[in-house]
Structure 1
Amino acid sequence: MQYFLHLLLKMLKLILPQKVVEAAQEREFDLQGYVFEAAPEQLRTPRIVRVGLIQNKIILPTDAPVLNQITALHKRVSEIVEVAAFCGVNIVCFQEAWTMPFAFCTREKEPWTEFAESAEDGFTTRFCQELAKKYNMVVVSPILERDEIHGGTLWNTAVVVSNTGQFLGKSRKNHIPRVGDFNESTYYMEGNTGHRVFQTQFGRIAVNICYGRHHPLNWFMYSINGAEIIFNPSATVGAVSEPMWSVEARNAAIANHCFTCAINRVGTEYFKNEFTSGNGKKAHHEFGHFYGSSYVAAPDGSRSPGLSRTHDGLLVAEIDLNLNRQTADKWNFKMTGRYDMYADELTKATQNDFKPNIIKE
């Protein structure tokens, strides 16, 4: 605990202009900024990037018209993105399924499937393209995707828009929870895009959506594909995951020699129709408090404090990507990884005739 506090205490605060601080106060959201430094090098200049993490509540009641809910969230997030631009943010990432209530636990199809949009040219992607061009900012926008090419299939997808305003690509959620209320397989199944990494003007980024953070190999594969920053947009409540939240992305940053950005929504979302969890407990209208607490972690084990547990927020982190290689040179986790051995044993473990390697007397 003392060492963890030391890592927090040594974190440098990012000095933000007074007009930015005032703008955040006027728009009623938590604003924090921190700096992650790397050691000076002789042959490389610093690779400074500013990332922005946005967490927010839904705006309208969950039974308001679908388009009104989406439009209200667009307006709210655009207010925060504008402040992120004032802060010099290069890459901004929103929370999981940010354009809608997190209704996937209700198991109702309507009206929730109506929130689904095209990843390539949907209403929200066009909105993000406008933001990206206006502010010269890469935008990571996790949405409910409707894939019309494949029969209208739904996916939990992160859209990546380049700072030029071009659609750069999409990455689908690899792991779907089946935990109490959070059984989302009613709506979408495991993604089929693998572990895509996006080359942007500001570095190589990947998006590990929500439940994927519980799977160490998921982080690992994004790293193997060259990610320097891995975003983890999430929607998770205190009763389910809060004890793990503060360490999972931090552990992933250490293990994979890269920066990780954990983002969680805030608020409690009420649904008109009761639903059950299949656990014998009474039906209910909500499934708990989304506790925010978004943070950034670095490969050297340091991490920022988290944003508010209850309020909308913007976390700005100025990071030097040189720290990734510096940490890798020190610890050599990938150099010393026995990946050929793991691959061989994992291949055997997936076979029907697998026998655990247990030695008995």
Structure 2
Amino acid sequence: MQESSRMEGTVKPKQIESVESILEKYIPEDELKEVKRILFGQNRGTSVSVQPVNQEATDIANANNFQVLFSKILAEKEQLRQPRIVRIGIIQNSIGAPTNAPIHDQYMAIQNKIEKMIDAAGAMGVNVLCLQETWHMPFAFCTRERYPWVEFAQPVTGEATQFIQRMARKYNMVIVSPMLERDEVHGSTIHNTAVVVGNNGNIIGKSRKNHIPRTGDFNESTYYMESTLGHPVFETVFGKIGINICYGRHHNLNWLAYGLNGSEIVFNPSATVTGLSEPMWGVEARNAAMTNNYFVGSINRVGTEHFPNEFTSGDGKPAHKDFGHFYGSSYFSSPDNCRSPGLSRVQDGLNIAEVDLNLCQQVKDKWNFQMTARYEMYAKFLTDYIDPNYQPQIVRDPSIKKN
């Protein structure tokens, strides 16, 4: 499912299916195991491998042209605690209709896709599911046009959430629904929000995007500003969940705060394109999972979204009608620094990991990051740093000659 298109008189390169598929194609099997050990880590001495997907989920996926992956990440058996087995799912998807179609037609085309993918998650017994950033619309913010794109914004209790509530009740599933929120109570302002819907279809709460990018095409502050909700962690029947939306993954203290608030699973619903952040994609979440001792589900949308009007970029590129290719590659990271296989770079997909949440505490007890951290020292430093009169702690070599 490779794609090629012409723009600015040049041919865009064909998109590869996935890094894993290339490794498996060209590296001999005996060497591949060692390569995967080095690149992707190990869980209890073995690489995280793809597990069989049941027939019902396979049939749904085949009929609706999306990929399903399933893997397991285990913990050691304990004497006093029973295993805490949870199935986590993440969904990546392309848009379902052209961006010049009527707004509600665009929304319904995506909802129809997502419904089938949640059906497959339900068939696989997923307990906690997260969708991609603003799943119900194209990622139009970087066009800097207000209309028609703000018409996708909905109140937390709107149509998109009502759909998610129905699906959560249907499958006894906690679903995290990242959406463009219209806050009707506070001046109808807009926020990049994730609504957490409980397995009974109830709204548990919401989290918002803490860090807004201002880089290249991605200058989203013309639509919404940074959250004031902090780093909420939602206690559900299936574990404690945090949501670190998109650009927040580049901020280490953001990850830290979700961990200190007790997260066992942190989702990172994102929208990022080839050439911007892909070399960082495979390492940031793994680093966060290991240093904060929780599971991370990293979600990126997929496909190339073309817009009716040209827009210019913050990095000097000629005017263009798309941001580039959203490279998918959604995957899971574990507290022990292994990772699951990733979804395709070019196809819609559902990735599922069966995990034992006991692994979070087991890794804490092994590495002692929280025990050895110097929070009081960091707190003092940050307090000093935000003082306008702060001076960096630099010790200068006296032998350096001053100009």
Q: Secondary structure at the match of 2:372?
A: coil
Letter in 1 for 2:42: L
Equivalent residue number for residue 259 of structure 1: 295
Given that residues 40 and 339 in structure 2 are in contact (C-alpha distance below 8 angstroms), is that contact kept between their aligned partners in structure 1?
A: no
Given that residues 87 and 126 in structure 2 are in contact (C-alpha distance below 8 angstroms), is that contact kept between their aligned partners in structure 1?
A: yes
Equivalent residue number for residue 177 of structure 1: 213
Equivalent residue for 1:13, pick from 31, 37, 50: 50
Equivalent residue for 1:143, pick from 179, 193, 197: 179
Q: Secondary structure at the match of 2:79?
A: coil
Q: Which runs of 4+ in 1 moved over 4 A?
A: none
Equivalent residue for 1:35, pick from 72, 77, 102: 72
2:160 is the alignment partner of 1:124: yes
Distance (Å, rounded) in 1 between the aligned partners of 2:307 and 2:52: 41
Query: Where do residues 243-282 of structure 1 align in structure 2 (5 Å cutoff)?
Result: 243-282=279-318
Query: Where do residues 181-330 of structure 1 align in structure 2 (5 Å cutoff)?
Result: 181-330=217-366
Identical aligned pairs, as a percentage?
56
2:108 is the alignment partner of 1:76: no
Q: Secondary structure at the match of 1:117?
A: coil
Equivalent residue number for residue 331 of structure 1: 367
Deviation at 1:69, TM superposition (A): 0.9
CA displacement, residues 169-201 of structure 1 (integer Å, 9 cap, x when unaligned): 000000000010000000000011100000000
Deviation at 1:5, TM superposition (A): 4.8
Q: Secondary structure at the match of 1:353?
A: coil
Distance (Å, rounded) in 2 between the aligned partners of 1:109 and 1:325: 46
Letter in 2 for 1:347: T
Distance (Å, rounded) in 2 between the aligned partners of 1:5 and 1:199: 29
2:62 is the alignment partner of 1:25: yes
Equivalent residue number for residue 65 of structure 1: 102
Given that residues 301 and 328 in structure 2 are in contact (C-alpha distance below 8 angstroms), is that contact kept between their aligned partners in structure 1?
A: yes
Given that residues 40 and 338 in structure 2 are in contact (C-alpha distance below 8 angstroms), is that contact kept between their aligned partners in structure 1?
A: no
Distance (Å, rounded) in 1 between the aligned partners of 2:317 and 2:338: 40
Equivalent residue number for residue 92 of structure 1: 129
RMSD of Structure 2 on Structure 1 (CA): 1.1
Distance (Å, rounded) in 2 between the aligned partners of 1:14 and 1:94: 22
**Which sits farther off after the overlay, 18-27 or 176-185?**
18-27
CA displacement, residues 14-41 of structure 1 (integer Å, 9 cap, x when unaligned): 3332232232112111110000000000
Given that residues 12 and 36 in structure 1 are in contact (C-alpha distance below 8 angstroms), is that contact kept between their aligned partners in structure 2?
A: no
Equivalent residue number for residue 3 of structure 1: 38
Given that residues 49 and 341 in structure 2 are in contact (C-alpha distance below 8 angstroms), is that contact kept between their aligned partners in structure 1?
A: no
CA displacement, residues 180-230 of structure 1 (integer Å, 9 cap, x when unaligned): 000000000001110000000000001000000000100100110000000
Deviation at 1:50, TM superposition (A): 0.3
The count of aligned residue pairs is 360
Q: Secondary structure at the match of 1:307?
A: coil
Distance (Å, rounded) in 1 between the aligned partners of 2:41 and 2:86: 24
CA 1:54–1:25: 2 relative to 1, 3 Å:
same
Letter in 2 for 1:233: P
Q: Secondary structure at the match of 1:58?
A: coil
Equivalent residue for 1:50, pick from 87, 90, 94: 87
Q: Secondary structure at the match of 1:308?
A: coil
Distance (Å, rounded) in 2 between the aligned partners of 1:279 and 1:295: 29
Q: Secondary structure at the match of 1:238?
A: coil
Gapped runs of 5+ residues in structure 1? none
Deviation at 1:305, TM superposition (A): 1.2
Structure index of larger Rg: 2
Deviation at 1:3, TM superposition (A): 1.8
Distance (Å, rounded) in 1 between the aligned partners of 2:217 and 2:42: 35
Deviation at 1:359, TM superposition (A): 1.6
Q: Secondary structure at the match of 2:392?
A: coil
Given that residues 14 and 318 in structure 1 are in contact (C-alpha distance below 8 angstroms), is that contact kept between their aligned partners in structure 2?
A: no
Letter in 2 for 1:195: H
TM-score by length of 1: 0.98
Distance (Å, rounded) in 2 between the aligned partners of 1:257 and 1:270: 39
Distance (Å, rounded) in 2 between the aligned partners of 1:46 and 1:194: 31
Equivalent residue number for residue 139 of structure 2: 102
Equivalent residue for 1:114, pick from 151, 162, 168: 151
Gapped runs of 5+ residues in structure 2? 1-34, 399-403
